[in-house]
Amino acid sequence: MPLTVDIIKRLQGFTLNVSLTAEAGVTALLGASGSGKSMTLRCIAGVEKPDEGRIVLDGRVLYDSGEKIDLPPQERRVGYLFQRYALFPNMTVLQNIDAGLSRERDARIKQAKRESLISRFRLDGLEQRYPRELSGGQMQRVALCRMLAAEPEAILLDEPFAALDSHLRWQLEGEVKQTFSEFSGVALLVSHDRGEVYRMSQRVCVLNDGASEPVLGTAELFDHPRTLQAALITGCKNCVPAEILSQGVIHVPDWNARLACAQAADGAITHTGIRAHYILPCAAEVENALYCRVVEAADDVFSRVLTLLPAGGTGTIRVELSRAAGERFTSGGEGWFCLPKEHIMLLRETHER
């Protein structure tokens, strides 16, 4: 049941240009605020209209600018969970759920579905409450319940935990993951939280200023991002310009370093990157060892964060060590640190469309 999106929408400041195919399961749209994630969902749901392009769900054309097809939202069979849930404030929990069951005409089947959903989402006893009388977690469960009551072929979740206190997110993330596991169609999850994306999705599409990059497996994206933006948005703290010297060797001017790398290179590479937790203290003779001065040493909640300046370099390197491994390093100290070649990323400036 694939969802294919190939659209252009011109907005103030940038043009949304998205081309992706999402298969059954969870595909995340990951990007910075203002990159076009929510607008993409709104176009799929029919709340916004693209300027041109095509949207097809399981062979059904939802939108086609060339053929003048633009199905209204209620005919798209797409469930859309807004950031703040958009429950009907003047309706009870039961009435909100019944709004999702409006297509069901058989009273007995409707009642059976209603009871099943209320039980599944643990809403027993809340049926006559209004949204203003619910907690954030309860509102989210009602919104999910209403969305799934309509039996959508695709579900779209727009930062579903953004309106929740941090202590609620972990529990509700588990509930949403369970919902995903029981849904056989396509699910798109919008988020700028990389941890949330890593835990909840099988595939990811990075959006950068309105332009989509190729859909990759979640683990592949985090282990081997292909572009500078993908590396940054997935949390890499060390990204600097680099040039290829030969296959397997790069020069990094900011770090005054010549580094071996395991990844195959091509002429389009413009930057390199390495995640802070992969860099470790080492002996001088270790491959990719850099002698560095500790510019700053600061304790995080569970780690010690070092800011290093390589000898002869102009750009710093961030390192994250365990408290035990990092306690001997203090500001002004010096030492050798290894950048393992298997964790050196080779990055393009942008994706070639």
Q: Would you tell me how many other CB atoms lie within 10 Å of the CB of residue 87?
A: 21
pLDDT digits (tens, 9 = 90+) for 316-329: 999 999 999 999 99
Domain contains 299: yes
Q: Dig out the tokens for 209 from the structure.
A: 């200023």
* Cα gap 310→332, rounded to integer Å: 13
Confidence of residue 351 (pLDDT cuts 50, 70, 90): low
pLDDT tops 70 at residue 341 = yes
CA distances for 277 relative to 25, 261, 262, 282, angstroms? 30, 17, 18, 14
Same domain flag for 87 and 184 = yes
Tell the burial category of 181 from Cβ atoms under 10 Å away from its Cβ (0-12, 13-18, 19+).
Answer: exposed
pLDDT tops 60 at residue 155 = yes
Confidence of residue 257 (pLDDT cuts 50, 70, 90): very high
Count structural domains, the chain.
2
- Amino acid 304: pLDDT: 96
Same domain flag for 41 and 16 = yes
- The range of the structural domain enclosing residue 137 comes to 3-226
Domain contains 197: yes
Same domain flag for 27 and 144 = yes
Same domain flag for 219 and 343 = no
Same domain flag for 15 and 144 = yes
- Amino acid 163: pLDDT: 63
Domain contains 73: yes
- Amino acid 206: pLDDT: 94
- Amino acid 122: pLDDT: 85
* Cα gap 302→157, rounded to integer Å: 31
Domain contains 231: no
Same domain flag for 307 and 189 = no
Confidence of residue 309 (pLDDT cuts 50, 70, 90): very high
The residue out of 226, 256, 277 marking a domain boundary is: 226
Same domain flag for 28 and 149 = yes
Residue 197 has φ and ψ, to the nearest 5°, of -65, -45
Same domain flag for 245 and 222 = no
Domain contains 65: yes
The mean pLDDT of 83-88, rounded to a whole number, is: 78
The residue out of 226, 258, 275 marking a domain boundary is: 226
- Amino acid 99: pLDDT: 87
pLDDT tops 90 at residue 310 = yes
* Mean pLDDT computed over every residue of the chain: 92
CA atoms within 13 A on the CB side of 85: 25
Same domain flag for 18 and 151 = yes
Same domain flag for 84 and 26 = yes
The residue out of 226, 251, 279 marking a domain boundary is: 226
* Cα gap 315→301, rounded to integer Å: 26
pLDDT digits (tens, 9 = 90+) for 8-62: 999 988 899 999 999 999 999 999 888 999 999 999 999 999 999 999 999 999 9
Same domain flag for 267 and 314 = yes
pLDDT, greater one: 110 or 291: 291
- Amino acid 82: pLDDT: 78
The mean pLDDT of 59-88, rounded to a whole number, is: 91
Domain contains 353: no
Closest CA to 32 of 197, 218, 156: 197
Closest CA to 192 of 154, 232, 240: 232
Supply the CATH number for residue 154's domain. Answer: 3.40.50.300
Domain contains 352: no
Helices (H), the chain: 37-45, 93-100, 107-120, 136-149, 166-181, 194-200, 218-223, 228-233, 323-326
Same domain flag for 212 and 250 = no
Confidence of residue 166 (pLDDT cuts 50, 70, 90): low
- Amino acid 140: pLDDT: 82
Confidence of residue 352 (pLDDT cuts 50, 70, 90): low
Domain contains 331: yes
Residue 289 has φ and ψ, to the nearest 5°, of -85, 130
pLDDT tops 70 at residue 353 = no
